[in-house]
Amino acid sequence: MVETLYWENGRIFLIDQRLLPGTVTYVSCDSARTVAEAIRSMVIRGAPAIGVAAAYGVALEALRGQARPPEDFAAALGAGLDILAQSRPTAVNLFWALERMRQVWQALGSAGPKEIARHLLQEAHAIRFEDIQINRALGEHGAALIPDGASVMTHCNAGALATAGHGTALGVLRSAVAGGKSLSVIATETRPLLQGARLTAWELVQEGIPVTLITDSMAGSLMRAGDIDAVIVGADRVAANGDVVNKIGTYGHAVLAVRHHLPFYVACPLSTIDLSLAKGEDVPIEERDGDEVRGFGDCRWAAEGALVRNPAFDLTPAELVTALITEKGVVDNRQLTGGQLRDFVAG
User: Considering the rule CB under 6 A, would residue 232 count as an interface residue with ligand MRU?
Assistant: no
**Measured at CB, which residue is nearest to ligand MRU?**
234
How many CB atoms lie under 10 A from the CB of residue 69?
10
Torsion of CA 170, 59, 30, 72, to 10 degrees: 150
Amino acid letter, 258 = V
User: Considering the rule CB under 6 A, would residue 156 count as an interface residue with ligand MRU?
Assistant: yes
Q: Which residues does 10 contact at the CB level (< 8 Å), separation at least 6? A: 30, 63
Which of the stretches 20-28, 55-63, 227-235, 294-302 binds ligand MRU when contact is defined by CB under 6 A?
Answer: 227-235
Q: Are strands 11-15 and 26-29 parallel, antiparallel or unpaired?
A: antiparallel
User: Considering the rule CB under 6 A, would residue 234 count as an interface residue with ligand MRU?
Assistant: yes
* Residues β-bridged to residue 8: 11
User: Considering the rule CB under 6 A, would residue 46 count as an interface residue with ligand MRU?
Assistant: yes
Q: Please, which of residues 244-263 interact with ligand MRU by CB under 6 A?
A: 246-247
How many CB atoms lie under 10 A from the CB of residue 112?
12
Q: Which residues does 231 contact at the CB level (< 8 Å), separation at least 6? A: 152, 153, 154, 155, 253, 254, 257, 262, 263, 264, 265
Distance between CA atoms of 79 and 141, rounded to whole angstroms? 40
Lay out the site mask for ligand MRU across 164-183 (x = CB under 6 A, - = otherwise): ----x---------------
Q: Please, which of residues 47-86 interact with ligand MRU by CB under 6 A?
A: 47-48
Can you tell me which of 27, 54, 92, 158 binds ligand MRU, judged by CB under 6 A?
A: 158
Output 32 or 235, the one with its CB closest to ligand MRU: 235
User: Considering the rule CB under 6 A, would residue 326 count as an interface residue with ligand MRU?
Assistant: no
Output 80 or 159, the one with its CB closest to ligand MRU: 159
Output 34 or 163, the one with its CB closest to ligand MRU: 163
Which of the stretches 21-29, 126-134, 157-165, 324-332 binds ligand MRU when contact is defined by CB under 6 A?
Answer: 157-165
Q: What sign results for the dihedral spanned by CA atoms 271, 276, 281, 287? A: negative
The beta strands (E) that lie in the chain are given as: 5-8, 11-15, 26-29, 151-154, 184-188, 211-214, 230-233, 237-239, 244-247, 264-267, 273-274, 295-296, 299-300, 313-316, 323-326, 329-332
User: Considering the rule CB under 6 A, would residue 325 count as an interface residue with ligand MRU?
Assistant: no
Which of the stretches 52-60, 125-133, 202-210, 228-236 binds ligand MRU when contact is defined by CB under 6 A?
Answer: 228-236
Rg (the chain; Cα; Å):
20
Can you tell me which of 14, 20, 31, 45 binds ligand MRU, judged by CB under 6 A?
A: 45
CB of 87 to ligand MRU, least distance (A): 11
Q: Which positions are catalytic?
A: 236
Which of the stretches 65-73, 206-214, 231-239, 328-336 binds ligand MRU when contact is defined by CB under 6 A?
Answer: 231-239
List the one residue out of 3, 26, 1, 2 whose CA is nearest residue 15.
Answer: 26
Distance between CA atoms of 33 and 29, rounded to whole angstroms? 9
Which of the stretches 181-189, 211-219, 232-240, 290-298 binds ligand MRU when contact is defined by CB under 6 A?
Answer: 232-240
CB of 168 to ligand MRU, least distance (A): 4
- Nearest 5°: phi and psi at 170? -70, -25
List the one residue out of 276, 203, 216, 206 whose CA is nearest residue 247.
Answer: 216
Can you tell me which of 195, 271, 316, 333 binds ligand MRU, judged by CB under 6 A?
A: 195
User: Considering the rule CB under 6 A, would residue 229 count as an interface residue with ligand MRU?
Assistant: no
DSSP state of 337: P
Can you tell me which of 5, 36, 58, 91 binds ligand MRU, judged by CB under 6 A?
A: 91
- Interacting residue ranges for ligand MRU, rule: CB under 6 A: 45-48, 91, 156, 158, 162-163, 168, 195, 233-236, 246-247, 312
